[in-house]
Amino acid sequence: MSDFNSDFWPVYISAITVISILACIVLLWTLSTKRVATGGKAGVTGHVWDEDLEEYNNPLPRWWIWLFYITIVFAVIYLALYPGLGRYPGLLKWSSRGQYEAEQAKARETYQPIYAKYAAMSIPDVARDPQAREMGQRLFLNYCAQCHASDARGGKGFPDLTDKDWLYGGDPETIVATITKGRSGMMPAWGKILGDEATRNLADYVIALSGGAHDELRAAYGKELFAANCVACHGPEGKGNPALGAPNLTDKTWLYGGSSTALVETIGKGRNGVMPAWGEFLGDEKIHLLAAYVWGLSNAR
């Protein structure tokens, strides 16, 4: 990539641009000076269709030529005012970064007092404010709905934010920490270590923990496997560990599905879940509003 930051490329691009404009001018001038004798017949290009349809080499109409000249004049004016010739910044000194920063500054001037107002309030109080909920919802739809869905009910691999089942904790401070720093959860793959038969036994025991239909004999074998391999994260009773992001296996909330097939896949192949960190991108005040909206989804207002 460093090759593209050398001084050669701005000169190369500028030369190509200028030569292209000059070539267009020469071509148009050549075409505009060509004349066809009155009553004469223009030459043909040699292209023939359907046996007798020939393509004639007539000069361009005058209005069409002038239209091309106008586009060239426009290009020259544009390149004088805006960046387009290598590192030349243009007379107006415009840049996409400058425009972005100006728009951001204007937005901060407009919305900063509103953000400051809500930043001084507790998250439960913000969640009860109708205007704050609308702002939080717009933030959610912009940045979170792609994974958690527009109704925040999630999908396979993406948690439902409207219930009270939280992998890392659902108190306001933990939600803020989750949004700010992100989360990374990993379930190791046990398939090659345990083998297919033991994996199915373990899956039946996990189903039994939440009261689902299961094979009693398989579950009995699976209980020993669970005690030997799973309690370090999920605990001896299978109720999980929020500090590790290990889910509670005794309820009926499943991130990737609670069927026998889904659990065999989860145990056998493992899972990797990532929640991106939004701290640097959104900032504390927007995260405060967003966290209030998310907290309010599963708590009475």
What does the pLDDT look like over 195-227, one tens digit per residue? 999 999 999 999 999 999 999 999 999 999 999
Among 65, 81, 97, where does a domain finish? 81
What does the pLDDT look like over 251-271, one tens digit per residue? 989 999 999 999 999 999 999
Residue 131 has pLDDT above 90, yes or no: yes
Residue 152 has pLDDT above 70, yes or no: yes
Considering the domain architecture, whether residues 171 and 281 belong to the same structural domain is answered as yes
Considering the domain architecture, whether residues 168 and 195 belong to the same structural domain is answered as no
Considering the domain architecture, whether residues 168 and 290 belong to the same structural domain is answered as yes
Q: Would you say residue 87 lies in a domain?
A: no
Domain count, the chain: 3
Q: Would you say residue 207 lies in a domain?
A: yes
**Confidence band of 4 (pLDDT split at 50, 70, 90):** low
**Confidence band of 37 (pLDDT split at 50, 70, 90):** low
Q: Would you say residue 95 lies in a domain?
A: no
Considering the domain architecture, whether residues 271 and 189 belong to the same structural domain is answered as yes
- Per the structure, the complete domain to which residue 50 belongs is given by 2-81
Considering the domain architecture, whether residues 194 and 139 belong to the same structural domain is answered as no
Considering the domain architecture, whether residues 199 and 175 belong to the same structural domain is answered as no
Using the structure block, give the residue that is written with the tokens 């641009």: 17
Considering the domain architecture, whether residues 261 and 283 belong to the same structural domain is answered as no
C-alpha separations of 70 from 82, 124, 257 in Å: 18, 62, 64
Q: Would you say residue 175 lies in a domain?
A: yes
What does the pLDDT look like over 235-252, one tens digit per residue? 999 999 998 889 999 998
Considering the domain architecture, whether residues 172 and 280 belong to the same structural domain is answered as yes
Q: What is the pLDDT of residue 59?
A: 72
Q: What is the pLDDT of residue 41?
A: 55
Domain containing residue 292: CATH number: 1.10.760.10
Considering the domain architecture, whether residues 288 and 168 belong to the same structural domain is answered as yes
Q: Would you say residue 63 lies in a domain?
A: yes
Considering the domain architecture, whether residues 176 and 293 belong to the same structural domain is answered as yes
Rounded-to-10 torsion of CA 113, 119, 125, 126: 70
Q: Would you say residue 92 lies in a domain?
A: no
